[in-house]
Amino acid sequence: GENVEQHPSTLSVQEGDSAVIKCTYSDSASNYFPWYKQELGKGPQLIIDIRSNVGEKKDQRIAVTLNKTAKHFSLHITETQPEDSAVYFCAASRGYSGGGADGLTFGKGTHLIIQP
């Protein structure tokens, strides 16, 4: 089955700086890669996703890049703010239409700390 590795487990950055979180996956048939943000005691919230026919996607301060050959994808957050502090998870799926209908395989998460 699929295996997703996520690094680093903890990332501390100064407010206003950029943060980068990296994930690798093992199943070459995976075609959908979402990123979730989870705050304490809450369920994960989707922040951005990318499908395998695209190399990069951007939404305001957040961007995701995908390298299918190397089987890795990354989350980039620019101009970080205190409200960006949370746990971030990457995931991968081979579900049809990229909707993850077969279920997602998650990385173990990155605790992002924004220092004021």
Partner 1 sequence: DGGITQSPKYLFRKEGQNVTLSCEQNLNHDAMYWYRQDPGQGLRLIYYSQIVNDFQKGDIAEGYSVSREKKESFPLTVTSAQKNPTAFYLCASSDRSLPQHFGDGTRLSIL
Instruction: Using CB under 8 A, list all residues that contact partner 1.
Output: 1, 4, 6, 32, 34, 36, 41-46, 49, 89, 91, 96-109
Which CB sits closer to partner 1, 84 or 98?
A: 98
Which CB sits closer to partner 1, 61 or 108?
A: 108
Q: Which two tokens stand for residue 8?
A: 């680093």
Whole-angstrom Cα distance, residue 78 to residue 21?
Answer: 12
Closest approach of partner 1 to the CB of residue 82, in Å: 22
Q: Which two tokens stand for residue 116?
A: 């004021």
Which CB sits closer to partner 1, 4 or 19?
A: 4
Which residue type occupies 17? Answer: D
Other C-beta atoms lying within 10 Å of the C-beta of residue 17: 12
